[in-house]
A and B are shown apart, each in its own frame.
Chain A
Amino acid sequence: MPAVAGTPALTVTDKPLVSLKPGTIPRAVDTTVDVLIVGLGPGGLIAAREFAKQGFNVLGIDRKQELGWPKRCAEGVSDEGLAHCGVKPDPAWAYGRIEGAALYSPSGKRVVLEGADTYGWVVERKIFEKHLARDAILAGAKIMVKTQAVNLLKDQAGAVAGVRAEFMGTQFNIRAKLTIGADGIDSFIGKWSGLKTLNRVRDYHSGFQYEMVGVAGYEEKWLHLYFGEDVAPKGYVWIFPKGEGVSNVGIGILAKESEWGNRAQDYLDRWIERNPQMFQNASITEINGSGIPVSARVPEPVGDGVMLVGDAAQLVNPIHGGGIIIAMRAAMIAARVGGEALRAGDVSAAKLRPYIVEYQTKDEGAVTEKLLRMRYFMENLTDRDFERLADILDGTTIMEVANARFPTFIKLLLKHFPKLAPLVRKYIMAVQQMEEAKAQRDWDEVDQLLANVEKTLAEQAAA
């Protein structure tokens, strides 16, 4: 895998002069820290806070000059997730109170999900992240904004030893015992470290969103999700209310379905046009977009001296594409496991691996893995299938499915068997697809392909 612009990772042998100490503000000079966090979204900031709480010397960097924007998401978080991560909802950023979700079939049939599991907030990321940054800094972490990682530092044994960064035109080395890559879908920390983080178009959603004011005809206490082949192929359109007439209106479509004239934005614009009663008095106050990795996770998010959290490790719910809380929860585990490794003086991949094991067995990973199957199932559904499901499913069953508990759902499919036979077939197909996808987790074929492409390119260059 070529590093960006063909630059190999720098090997560091010399010791940077300055150590980040209490009483100094971080500047663009060679620095040594215990933990370096690249990317200060919710995942990176929680990691910064948690490492700092354990007394480590923490530096976080972000390439943007302001934290929290441009956001790449619909800003939904759950009560339970915030509480787990020790973040108290603050009216300064917790805008829309959510008490459920309404799902719409292509013909407009509505199924409502309500219950404690669905309680949460739609937050204002710009302020949310400032508050997380405040918590991290007050816990003892240091951060730098407008600071881009331009290359990876490795020690002579090949372990990750920090990054070379650039702040307003000045390049400098940040050496770290442990580097956390929380740098999003476009993670270069993962790629530079040799971790397999490639996003494949079959596991990648193209997301696009308007923040709008003045949208009418939706209940502000629910998230609204609209399904249908014309609405959003292999995805859905959402309205996430932020309170007082403000809402995030967005769309996610499978990247494979995206093509000229039928892009995420085109689908969303067309859907808005088809619903003038909702949008005739609305205006757009923000435009957002993103890639959403819906593969459940990368095969191996740790390496020697490096851990990935959040989108960088593709830790996202494969069904609804939400990842704020998942990233934050993963960061909590990463900080605990990373902290132990640092105290033991061994940050090898083997020592860091309990992070992903714990995520996978005791945390969100246990659910997201199972939800992959449901994602494949849903991607095979036609509009007619959605209508059939809307007829038989109630909110409780959907909640169970969303929490990766399928028995009631399967029983329901079987109970209506003659009518739902195609759906049962599709479910079985999805299970098979899931096994195949798992088998391809090592991504050898991709590596081989890229190696071939590189070889051919080199030959062409020589000729």
Chain B
Amino acid sequence: MGKIEVNHSRCISCAGCVGVCPVDTITLQGLTLTIDQAPCISCGLCVQFCPVGALTPGETYGASYTRKVDKVLVVL
């Protein structure tokens, strides 16, 4: 289980999350969304942004990064 999970049946391949990801860990391959979990900083911006709710926090989401998340949100 990763930090961010994609529900492919909800995803509409709009790439809004790709644009908002501060560490470029999300890509659209053709029309398929892929998330490289390793560089993900669990900031949750993509989860917050997604217009259709296709992204959800996974099991390992945010465990140790909570303070950074706040900072990311404030700065962005």
| Residues in A lying within 8 Å of B, measured CB to CB | 1-6, 63-65, 70, 72, 146, 148, 184-188, 191, 198-202, 204, 206-208, 255, 258-260, 263-265, 287-291, 293, 445-446, 449-450, 452-454, 456-457, 460
Tell me if A186 and B12 are in contact (CB < 8 A): no
User: Contact: B49 with A291, CB < 8 Å?
Assistant: yes
The prevalent SS among residues of B at the interface is loop
Taking each of B18, B51, B76, which has the highest tally of chain A beta carbons within 10 Å of its own beta carbon? B51
B4 to chain A, nearest CB (A): 14
* Interface of chain B residues 8 through 49 with chain A (CB within 8 A): 12-20, 22-25, 27-31, 36, 38-39, 41, 45, 47-49
A264, closest chain B residue (CB): B51
Q: Do A6 and B51 have beta carbons less than 8 Å apart? A: no
Asked if residues A457 and B49 are in contact (CB atoms below 8 Å), the reply is no
Rounded to whole Å, the gap between the CB of A379 and the closest CB of chain B is: 16
- Please name all residues of chain A whose beta carbon is closer than 8 Å to the beta carbon of B12 when the two chains form the complex: 70, 287-289
> What CA separation (Å) do A188 and B21 show in the bound complex?
12
| Contact status B24-A265, CB under 8 Å | no
Q: Which A residues are in CB contact (< 8 Å) with B20?
A: 199, 201, 204, 255, 291
* Distance from B42 Cβ to chain A, minimum over Cβ atoms (Å): 10
Is there contact, CB below 8 Å, between A255 and B31?
no
A204 touches B28 (CB 8 A): no
Partner of B53, one of A70, A198, A265: A265
- A460–B63 Cα gap in the complex (Å)? 12
Q: Give the docked Cα–Cα distance between A187 and B47 (Å).
A: 19
Across chains A and B, which 9 residue pairs bring their CB atoms closest together, nearest first?
Answer: A291-B16, A186-B18, A289-B14, A185-B19, A264-B51, A208-B51, A186-B15, A291-B19, A200-B76
A264 to B72, CA, bound (A): 22
Size band of the B side of the interface?
35 or more
Interface residue B1 (Cβ < 8 Å from any Cβ of A) = no
Residue among B31, B50, B52, B71 making CB contact with A64, cutoff 8 Å: B31
Q: Check A198 against B22 for contact (C-beta < 8 Å).
A: yes
Question: Can you name the residue of chain B whose Cβ is closest to the Cβ of A456?
Answer: B68
20 A-B pairs with CB atoms under 8 Å apart are: A1-B24, A2-B39, A3-B24, A6-B39, A64-B30, A70-B14, A72-B14, A185-B18, A199-B20, A258-B49, A260-B53, A263-B51, A263-B52, A265-B52, A289-B12, A289-B52, A290-B16, A291-B20, A291-B49, A452-B68
Question: A446, B22: Cβ atoms under 8 Å?
Answer: yes
Measured CB to CB, the closest approach of chain B to A443, in angstroms, equals 9
Complex CA gap A206/B15 in Å reads 11
Task: Please name the residue on chain B nearest to A204 by beta carbon.
Answer: B20
* Best-surrounded residue of A2, A184, A201, A450 (most CB of chain B within 10 A): A201
Question: Chain B contacts of A184 at CB under 8 A?
Answer: 15, 19
The residue among B18, B36, B49, B72 with the most chain A CB atoms within 10 A of its own CB is: B49
Contact present for B13 and A2 (CB under 8 Å): no
Q: Which residues of A contact B49 (CB under 8 A)?
A: 201, 204, 206, 255, 258, 291
Judging by beta carbons under 8 Å apart, are A188 and B24 in contact?
A: yes
- Do residues A186 and B28 form an inter-chain contact, with CB atoms below 8 A? yes
Name which of A64, A265, A446, A454 has the most chain B CB atoms within 10 A of its CB: A265
